[in-house]
């Protein structure tokens, strides 16, 4: 054990690991949980690896519900993958139970721990290096949607309430602007006006869900690149990991969030707005991969609403950044003055750009059908 994380030895000893654990090291570049790789020596001298994770209880205040979601989804995925002739040990996360038969372990300091089988011969990218990386990620998240298309999404816990309730986020934004606790509203009238002028987009998806024109789906809610494992041998997307934010939601939100950060030509906090646009090349790459991965499991309406998902998620994110700026930067960590304002501005620039490119986005979706 190289790490001094309290409770780790107790935790490692609590799970049904094959062989003798002999090394446990911090692993990966996750920001939310604390992740370790445990190596065990088997009788024949070979090694078996596991991922041991301490869950972040500050972020996830309902770890029990969270784990119920993860268990539900991974059990379902495993069955599906077996039915389809895939490799259930590499194409989904697999939970290792504790010696007491539980799906997670609570140590004596009230730390929550879980163990996954280690997915061998795979890696994840932290940054898009080439368009194919983005395409592989799209395929994997599309396939995730496809495999879970008949999962009873309503049975999942909403572990973070109202996570993508854009209308509620809009109300919260208005409150923050009205309260103006830092006296910053006067300086950002243009940005506030931008949000107000785009109000209709904050309830369009919620309304379609309420009218049942869009189905409730299992959503991942953290569709970034390094949450997909890539097969070392083939370079292809193998497995979607990091299921902490799996919740009932809209497929177009998962799609839209990927476009929001993945198809932007600049960083989220770029100050030179002339550099910020939504790349139609990358939009096409992701749309193609996502729709291929979905294998026809999206409804007509969901497909039609993909560009809307991108616009709404980007607007929502911009609203959240601006609301946080107005409230004194209490949620998103800042590294410079007006950091959240800069972030809000890039998102609003993207929204405007998407509106200009609306017809192109629709044509791309039609072409990928
Ligand atoms: P994030 O910052 O994305 O929320 P996190 O803290 O929730 O990350 P994970 O994404 O679950 O942590 O894991 C961190 C990293 O560990 C992953 O990016 C991946 O490289 C690696 N990893 C996680 N689970 C496995 C697994 N079952 N097999 C192999 N590697 C894994
Ligand atoms: Mg992750
Ligand atoms: Mg995570």
Of all atoms in ligand 1, which is nearest to the CA of residue 242?
Answer: 11
Atom 14 (ligand 1): residue with closest C-alpha? 30
From the CA of 257, how far away is ligand 1's center (Å)?
19
- Tell me the pLDDT tens digit for each residue of 300-345: 999 999 999 999 999 999 999 999 999 999 999 999 999 999 999 9
Predicted pLDDT of residue 235: 94
Which residues does 165 contact at the CB level (< 8 Å), separation at least 6?
Answer: 206
From atom 10 of ligand 1, which residue's Cα is the shortest distance away?
Answer: 242
The CA dihedral of 132, 134, 140, 144, to the nearest 10 degrees, is -160
Distances from the Cα of 1 to the Cα of 15, 49, 141, 188, angstroms: 16, 14, 35, 51
CA distance 205 to 257: 14
Cβ–Cβ < 8 Å for 154, 216: yes
Say how far apart CA 306 and CA 322 lie, in whole Å.
25
Q: Which pLDDT does position 5 carry in this prediction?
A: 83
Radius of gyration, CA atoms only, the chain? 21
Residue 109 has pLDDT above 90, yes or no: yes
Q: 8-117 adopts what CATH topology?
A: Phosphorylase Kinase; domain 1 (3.30.200)
Most ligand 1 atoms within 8 A of CB, residue of 116, 229, 243 to mutate:
229
Q: How many CB atoms lie within 10 A of CB 73?
A: 23
State the pairing for strand pair 47-54/112-117: antiparallel
39 is written with which tokens?
Answer: 């190596």
Given ligand 1 and candidates 242, 243, 257, 261, which is best to mutate, with the most ligand atoms within 8 Å of its CB?
242
Give helix 280-294 / helix 358-368 axis angle, nearest 10°. Answer: 30
Q: What angle do CA 160, 164, 168 make, to 5 degrees?
A: 95
Q: For the domain made up of 131-368, give the CATH fold.
A: Aminoglycoside 3'-phosphotransferase; Chain: A, domain 2 (3.90.1200)
End-to-end CA distance of the chain: 51
Give ion ligand 3 contacts, CB < 5 A.
Answer: 32, 242, 244
Ligand 1: which residues within 6 Å by Cβ? 27-28, 30-33, 35, 51, 93, 116, 118-119, 124, 222, 226-227, 241-242, 244
Per-residue pLDDT tens digits for 156-214: 999 999 999 999 999 999 999 999 999 999 999 999 999 999 999 999 999 999 999 99
* Sign (positive or negative) of CA dihedral 94, 97, 103, 108: negative
Q: What pLDDT band is residue 6 in, cutting at 50, 70 and 90?
A: confident
Domain ranges of the chain: 8-117, 131-368
Query: Is the predicted pLDDT of residue 1 greater than 80, yes or no?
Result: no
Q: What span, in angstroms and rounded, lies between the C-alpha atoms of 31 and 48?
A: 25
């Amino acid at each position: 054990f190289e790490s001094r994380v309290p409770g780790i030895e107790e935790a490692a000893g609590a799970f049904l690991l094959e062989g003798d654990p002999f090394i446990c090291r911090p692993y990966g570049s996750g920001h939310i949980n604390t992740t370790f790789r445990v190596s065990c020596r088997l009788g024949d001298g070979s090694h078996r690896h596991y991922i041991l994770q301490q869950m972040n209880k500050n972020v996830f205040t309902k770890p029990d519900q969270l784990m119920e979601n993860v268990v539900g989804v991974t059990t379902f995925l495993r069955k599906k993958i077996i039915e389809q002739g895939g490799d259930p040990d590499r194409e989904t996360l697999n939970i290792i139970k504790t010696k007491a038969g539980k799906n997670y372990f609570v140590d004596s300091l009230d730390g929550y721990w879980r163990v996954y089988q280690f997915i061998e011969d795979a890696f994840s990218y932290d940054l898009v290096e080439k368009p194919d990386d983005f395409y592989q990620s799209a395929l994997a998240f599309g396939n995730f949607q496809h495999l879970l298309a008949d999962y009873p999404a309503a049975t999942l816990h909403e572990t973070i309430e109202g996570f993508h309730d854009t209308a509620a986020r809009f109300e919260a934004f208005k409150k923050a602007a009205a309260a103006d606790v830092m006296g910053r509203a006067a300086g950002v009238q243009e940005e506030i006006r931008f949000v107000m002028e785009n109000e209709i987009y904050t309830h369009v998806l919620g309304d379609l869900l309420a009218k049942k024109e869009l189905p409730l789906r299992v959503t991942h809610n953290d569709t970034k690149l390094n949450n997909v494992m890539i097969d070392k041998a083939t370079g292809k997307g193998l497995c979607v990991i990091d299921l902490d934010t799996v919740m009932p939601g809209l497929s177009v939100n998962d799609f839209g969030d990927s476009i929001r950060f993945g198809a932007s030509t600049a960083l989220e906090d770029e100050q030179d707005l002339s550099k910020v646009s939504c790349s139609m090349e990358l939009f096409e790459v992701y749309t193609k991969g996502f729709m291929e991965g979905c294998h026809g499991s999206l409804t007509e309406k969901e497909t039609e609403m993909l560009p809307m998902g991108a616009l709404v998620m980007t607007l929502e994110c911009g609203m959240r950044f601006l609301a946080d700026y107005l409230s004194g930067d209490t949620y998103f960590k800042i590294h410079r003055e007006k950091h959240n304002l800069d972030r809000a501005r890039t998102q609003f620039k993207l929204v405007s750009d998407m509106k200009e490119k609306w017809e192109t986005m629709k044509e791309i979706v039609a072409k990928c059908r």
